[in-house]
Amino acid sequence: MQSINRTQLFRASCLSLLVTSLSFGIRAGLLDKFGTEFHLDKAALASITATAFYGFPIAVVIGGMIVDIIGMKRLLSIAFLFHLVGILLTIFAQGFWTLYISTFLIGLANGTVEAACNPLVTSLYTDNKTIKLNHFHLWFPGGIVIGTLVVSLFDHLLGGHVAGKLIWQIEVGVMLIPTLIYGYLFSKLDFPVTERVSSGITTGGMYKALVNPLFLFMFILMFGTAITELFTGQWIDVLLKNVTKNAILLLALENGVVAMGRGFAKPILKMVSPQVLLLCSAILAALGIYLLSTVSGDMLIVAAIIFGMGVCFFWPTMLGFVNTNLPNTGAVGLNLMGGAGMFAVSIYTIFMGRHYDEIVAQAGGSNATAGQQILQATLVIPLVLIVAFIGLIVYMRSKNKTAPMKTAAV
């Protein structure tokens, strides 16, 4: 362990996640441009977007199964290659299928990053997993902020001076910079084995832990938390474009709130338990989506802030809760959770993309409130999560009361 530099490994992990989030932020700002450039309707755009969300679970589940075998370093080398090829193919896209394949490759890269880095973080910081997972995952919203600002800045600076296609090619090309840096850094660093391996938990014991009812419950809830956070964020520019001219900046604002909140995970988690934090998150997320679907003007800023506060802790706290309370689930447990979330988002995105087109078609080709109707339908999900997390709090309290008291050390 003397050669393991956990600070540098953590920083390189954050940089790899930055590339993942840049792909979300930049793509969110380019969806309408892709539609215009290649004559794609919302259903086609939804299909392209969804490839990233189902490429992710494929990679994260397979990666979770093999990370203990091939090691985290080799897995991150694969992620680097997927990112590099996916970004280059996007830059030189010629239509639906090249966008589809390139987005799928980036989705595979993103999933592979999480398949390696989530167990890496929990192996490096075994004493405060949920806090460090929140610090690691703040780079996801942070990268979305950077990505959306890159799109807005380049549009402002280059709009009217260069061809529209060249603008978005440059915007996508920005992702090559952190990709090359994280690939180089990881190639120079030594990696530990995963916590499950170092603890001596057998592969059979890990898979047996996956059928624990608590894990299955959290696995299902991950569907809802991921859809609430990622579907709404990825499509906010499309859903609210008829309500405001600054929808992409609302995405940047919301994710800025998320990044800031995750940075303060340590003091917050000292005040409340992870399950209470998840309940508060669901309440604020529901309120945020309700406001986004009903208000206009400056009130959208308030709605985006509240929504950002709501989804802030969802993803890393769900992972941290599972790995802390069910440590035997290991890397596979962490990555099944992430895969479940992204898979749910991919299916929901395809379904809602088609539903959006149906709403517009039924209105005779124009419906200014179509996006708000999609948000109102999505509101049901965090409302269900509120009930579920109340149940989780009750369960954990009863579990703690019945747990045997530990004898104090003398």
Domains of the chain: 6-399 (1.20.1250.20)
Neighbouring residues of 364: CB distance < 8 A, sequence distance ≥ 6: none
pLDDT at 237: 64
Cβ-contact 346, 364 below 8 angstroms: no
> pLDDT tens-digit profile of 53-81?
778 889 988 998 899 889 999 999 999 99
Q: Which two tokens stand for residue 318?
A: 């769900």
| DSSP E strands, 125-265 | none
pLDDT at 406: 42
Q: Compute the distance between CA of residue 410 and CA of residue 404 in angstroms, rounded to an integer.
A: 18
pLDDT at 42: 78
Q: Compute the distance between CA of residue 257 and CA of residue 262 in angstroms, rounded to an integer.
A: 9
Mean pLDDT computed over every residue of the chain = 87
Q: Which residue has the tokens 């993309």?
A: 353
pLDDT at 145: 82
Q: Compute the distance between CA of residue 60 and CA of residue 55 in angstroms, rounded to an integer.
A: 9
Q: Compute the distance between CA of residue 213 and CA of residue 145 in angstroms, rounded to an integer.
A: 37
How many C-beta neighbours within 10 Å does residue 398 have? 10
pLDDT at 405: 45
Nearest to 214 by CA among 353, 337, 41: 337
pLDDT at 164: 65
Nearest to 174 by CA among 25, 328, 299: 25
Q: Compute the distance between CA of residue 147 and CA of residue 22 in angstroms, rounded to an integer.
A: 5
The upper half-sphere exposure of residue 365, i.e. CA atoms within 13 Å in the direction of its Cβ, equals 0
> Residues, the chain, total?
410
Positions of the chain with pLDDT lower than 50, given as ranges: 1, 405-410
pLDDT at 162: 63
Cβ-contact 306, 293 below 8 angstroms: no
